[in-house]
Amino acid sequence: MEERIVITGMGTVNPVGLTVEETWRNIVEGVSGVGPITLFDASDLLVQIACEVKGFEPTNYMRPRDARRRDRFEQFALAAAREAMESAGLEVSEENADRIGVIVSSAIGGLNSLQEAIFTVRDVSSRRVSPFLIPMLMANGASGLIGIEYGMRGPGMSVASACASGADGIGMAWMMLRAGVIDVALAGASEATITVTGIAAFDRLGAMSRRNDDYSMTPQPFDKNRDGLVMGEGAAVLVLERESHARARGANILAELAGYAATVDAYHVTAPREDGAGGAAAIRAALKAARVNPDEVGYINAHGTATQLNDAAETRAIKAAFGDLAYRIPVSSTKSMTGHMMGATGALEAIFCVQAVREGVLPPTIHYETPDPECDLDYIPNQAREAKIEVAISNAFGFGGHNAVLVVRAYH
C-alpha cells in the first residue's frame, strides 16, 4: 500500500492577502479583491478591472538587485515559498537536498517581461533588451529560482496545463512522493498576467467581465447574470511530504493530500465539454485514487470562473460524478473573491481545502444573487458556513480541455 502524502506547510501571495492567515481571514469574511487596474494605464482597454496583489514589496523577500532581475510571477513564487518553508519548519541540508523536489508551475510565465522586451525592441533598440530576459519569461523560472534559493537538488519543473497548471503540479509532486522518488516537495504555481497583452487577449476570447464602472458585484460564479471572469494574480506553494518523513522530523501535519487525477476533454481548445464528462471522469478517478467514497466528500472548491460555459459545464460534471449526492454537497467558487489567477488558482484553492477541513469553515461564493436553472447546486451564497468535514476536493479546469482534481482529507 502506498505511503500517505501529507501537507506540512503552506504559503501564498494573492489579491486578498500576503500570507495564508490573512488570506483565509478575508476569504471567510467574503472580502473581494477586485478593483481598477493600477499596474498600468488601462484606459484604452475594454476591461479596466482586475484582482491585483496589493501591498506587495518584493524587496521584503529578496535584495533589490535580485528583484529587478525577476519577473513579477517569480517574485510572488519566492514569497509564497518562503512562507511555506517557514510554516513547515523545513531545513535543507547536504544530506537531504537530493530528496527534495520543486514543482512550481505557471501557465504563462513572465508575460510582463516578454511584453516589455517587445516594446523595447520596437521603440528603442534590440540592444536594450535585458540579458536576464530569458530567465524572467520562462515558465520554469520560478521553480528554478526556488531550488537555487534553498539548495534543493531533487526534480524541478513547471507543469503547463493552462488553468489546471497549479493543481497538476501538486498532483505531479504527489505521484513522485508516492513512488518514492523524493521525500519532500515544494509544489504549487505562480502567475502574473495582469498586463496590457494579458487583459486584451482574454477579453478578445469573450471571457472577461467589463463592469468597469460598477465592479462591486463581479465576478458572479454560478449566478444567472454572470458575465465573465476577472483576472487575478499571485502564487501559492505547499510543502508535501511522505508521512514517514514528516513524522520522523516532528513536523506539524496540516492535512493529507489523499488523491489526484487528471483527464482531458479532447473536445475544444477553449470551451469545456458541455456535458462535463471530462471533469466528471477526473473527479471519479481522484476519489478512487484517494480511496474515498462519494458520500464522504463534504465540500467542493469549484473551478467556478463565472463564464457562462464553464459554470454550467462544471455543474453538470459534479452531478455526473456524484449523482443525487451532488445536491447535498456544498460547492463554492473562491474566484468570486480572488479573481482567476490562471495557473496559480488551483494551488491557492488547494490551500482553501486544507483550511476548510482544519477549521470547519466552508468559504462562500460572494456576489450570488440570481439562481440559474442550469446551475442548481448549493453554492454557499455570500456567507461562509460552519461545517465539520473530513474530505474536500478542488476542481481545476483549463483551456485545452485539461481537468485536474485534488482530494484533501483531514489528518488523524
List residues with catalytic annotation: 163, 303, 340
| 219 cis-preceded (ω within 30 degrees of 0) | yes
Cα gap 255→246, rounded to integer Å: 12
Other CB atoms closer than 10 Å to residue 200's CB: what's the count? Answer: 15
User: What are the Cα distances from residue 213, in Å, to 36, 46, 322, 381?
Assistant: 9, 11, 40, 24
Phi, psi (degrees; rounded to nearest 5) at 54: -110, 140
H/E stretch holding 249: none
Instruction: Round to whole Å and give the CA distance between 212 and 355.
Output: 32
Residue by residue, DSSP assigns 319-338 as HHHHGGGGGGS-EE-THHHH
Q: How many CB atoms lie within 10 A of CB 81?
A: 31
Evaluate the omega torsion of the peptide bond into residue 330 and state whether it is cis, within 30 degrees of 0: no
For residues 218 and 47, give the distance between their C-alpha atoms in angstroms, rounded to a whole number.
12
**Where do the H-state alpha helices sit in 59-110?**
64-68, 72-88
Question: Angle between the 20-28 and 345-359 helix axes, to the nearest 10 degrees?
Answer: 70
Give strand pairing partners of 362: 385
Angle between helices 141-150 and 72-88 (to 10 degrees): 40
The Cα 232–Cα 49 span in angstroms is 10
CA dist 140 and 172 (Å) reads 15
Record the cell numbers describing residue 382, joined without a space: 455570500
CB neighbour list of residue 212: distance below 8 Å, 6 or more residues apart:
36, 47, 48, 49
Work out the angle at residue 240's Cα, subtended by the Cα atoms of residues 281 and 176, and round it to the nearest 5 degrees: 60
Residue 129, all three cell numbers: 533588451
Contact 208, 199 (CB under 8 A): yes
